[in-house]
Chain A
Amino acid sequence: MDITFKDVSYIYQANTPFEHRALSGVSFHIPSGSFVAVIGHTGSGKSTLLQHLNGLLRPTEGKVMIGDYQISAAEKTKDIKSLREKVGVVFQYPEHQLFEETVAKDIGFGPLNFNVEPKEIERRTGQAIKAVGLPEDLLQRSPFDLSGGQMRRVAIAGVLAMNPEVLVLDEPTAGLDPSGQREIMDMFSRQHKNNNLTTVLVTHSMEDALRYADHIIIMKDGEKYMEGAPLEVLVNKEELQRVQLDLPEVIQFLHQAEKQFGKAIPYRKQGIAQLAKELTAVVKGGESHG
């Protein structure tokens, strides 16, 4: 589903002493099927932005369009329930939303609310638990007996089981161990490709943004600061540093290599082995010429 923000502003606790403008005049367009990374300093309004995507928040000004659904301050969105069925959201620390007696019931909670047949729920539950890399015999355990990382996976499975068309992820790997982070991100990437999803990912990892996203939005103090393809946005050191962000390590490395050897290696998302080859070619080529 296409996602469009038009001049969206959001004010928390409007008309109280604590009025706080968390978004101001944000506009962008995400074509269906994109993988978008939203980056920004803590407090820059990323989570607030995400909560507009399934109508949990309605913009104070402007409007949000998701497929055929419209969300604006003035009118109640029709059919918000079916919107929420199509937009699956994994919140920050999703393990905090677990509550059922068994893992299976918790994963099935979303689909059940959407009146999915019990047979179908069972099928989806099995699929989802495999997708997140947990053994099926966990299904009958209590979610509270699991480790933190396992709980996170169960919570994510609960969102996948809704078979969403849009997947919204708010720092889904925060606080996991490095290999777990990689596994989960690869899993999201697979889901994105196999199910033709539109994915919106909030992340602090420039590496993840570079590796998985095809479009980047950078937020600063509630405003859109930069937007574009990863290789346009994530190579601009000065601009990024102005919002306390670093270049991805690969890019830093390639910049350094260019300084050292006087020849640029263009980055096309090569793997490490490929990069090493190209670098060797540059170094050797440099020697043979000199």
Chain B
Amino acid sequence: MNSLYMPKDSLIHSLDPRTKMLFVVFVVASSFILNDPALQLVFLVALFPLVVMAKVVKPYLISIQFLLLFAVLIMTVHGIYNPIGVTPVFEIFGGLTFKYESMVYASVMSFRILVIGTAAVLFVMTTHPSDMASALVKWKVPHSFAFILLSTFQIIPIIAREAKIVMEAQQARCLDVKGSLIQRVKNLVPMFAPLFIITFMKVHQLSYVLECRAFSRKGEKTSLRETKIGSLDYTFLLGMLGVLAFEIYLKLFMMGSLHLTTDALLTYSLFGTWIVFGFMIIKFVVKQFQGKIGGAN
């Protein structure tokens, strides 16, 4: 509940966190090597089977919606207004012209966001936070640093939850959220003073608990959750290496002769994001509408 981790039983989950971290690095690198919309689209589609394998399709689609909003915005606004565009592709509403170069630029950027987002979501959803910390320790990251990272991940939702509780309590005493600017600034006090104190108390308690468990003891530490690199990880790593080599080969020797990106592809990508976006809006409106009907009865 505290993190995005989705406990499931899958091949991806059983990979070592280190493999998955390298995977994220690999995807980021690839998204920059393949700075061509067509290739990135292929890459994005190729990542999807991994999502299916990790059994997180539904939560993935829900989380990726937000990135899609960015994509729609970038594709539309850049496509029309980015000054690097010269060759018109098509026109809407008279006067607003999508241009080839700007569309390429916008598509590359949006696909990159989606590709990296996919990898990040995949990593976070399939990796237990503690596993990540112990994997970091295996990479000779100091134990206390790994712990700071881990506890930061964990304390953010806790603080968010406390913030909600405090805010509700003050709202119940009718803290006025409207009013003049000075009033609003003053209103931050009832919100943040308790929150600060609670957080401070929590951290204080945590430090006691850690001391009681000999956290600052010197020497080698063992981990409750052991991670191991196995044959599956090696297969995966080799696969990544292969793909990476192929990408570099593509980039170095074939970019000149390969013209995968066409007007049609760009246009369809743009329309595609619009259509998905349209569905999201329709779903939202229907939800609101159902609420209205429900309220009328």
**C-beta contact mask, A225-268 vs B, less than 8 Å → 1, else 0?**
00000000000000000000000000000000000000000000
A interface, by DSSP: helix, strand, loop or mixed?
A: mixed
Q: How far is the CB of A125 from chain B (nearest CB, A)?
A: 14
Q: A18–B125 Cα gap in the complex (Å)?
A: 12
Q: Contacts A91-B169, A94-B169, A96-B166 hold; do A84 and B294 have CB atoms under 8 A apart?
A: no
Kindly state whether residue B217 has any CB partner on chain A within 8 Å.
Answer: no
In the complex, are the beta carbons of A110 and B295 less than 8 A apart?
Answer: no
Q: Tell me which residues from 282 to 297 in chain B have a Cβ below 8 Å from any Cβ of chain A.
A: 291-296
Q: Which residues of A contact B197 (CB under 8 A)?
A: 96, 144
Q: A15–B166 Cα gap in the complex (Å)?
A: 25
Kindly state whether residue A104 has any CB partner on chain B within 8 Å.
Answer: no
Chain B interface size band reads: 20 to 34
Q: Contacts A62-B294, A110-B173 hold; do A96 and B168 have CB atoms under 8 A apart?
A: no
Residues of A within 8 A of B (CB-CB), count? 34
Kindly state whether residue B113 has any CB partner on chain A within 8 Å.
Answer: no
In the complex, are the beta carbons of A99 and B190 less than 8 A apart?
Answer: yes
Q: Which residues of A contact B292 (CB under 8 A)?
A: 74
Kindly state whether residue A159 has any CB partner on chain B within 8 Å.
Answer: yes
Q: Which residues of A contact B6 (CB under 8 A)?
A: 17
Most chain A beta-carbon neighbours within 10 Å: one of B6, B63, B165, B173: B173
Q: Which residues of A contact B4 (CB under 8 A)?
A: 17
Q: How far is the CB of B221 from chain A (nearest CB, A)?
A: 32
Q: Which residues of B contact A91 (CB under 8 A)?
A: 165, 168-169, 172
Kindly state whether residue B170 has any CB partner on chain A within 8 Å.
Answer: yes
Kindly state whether residue B264 has any CB partner on chain A within 8 Å.
Answer: no
In the complex, are the beta carbons of A73 and B291 less than 8 A apart?
Answer: yes
Q: Which residues of A contact B189 (CB under 8 A)?
A: 99
Q: How far is the CB of B211 from chain A (nearest CB, A)?
A: 23
On A, residues with C-beta under 8 Å from B are 15-18, 51, 54, 56, 61-63, 72-75, 81, 84-85, 87-89, 91, 94, 96-99, 109-110, 113-114, 144, 158-159, 162
Give 6 nearest A-B pairs by CB, closest first: A74-B295, A17-B59, A110-B173, A99-B193, A97-B169, A113-B174
On B, residues with C-beta under 8 Å from A are 1, 4, 6, 58-59, 62-63, 162, 165-166, 168-176, 189-190, 193-194, 197-198, 291-296
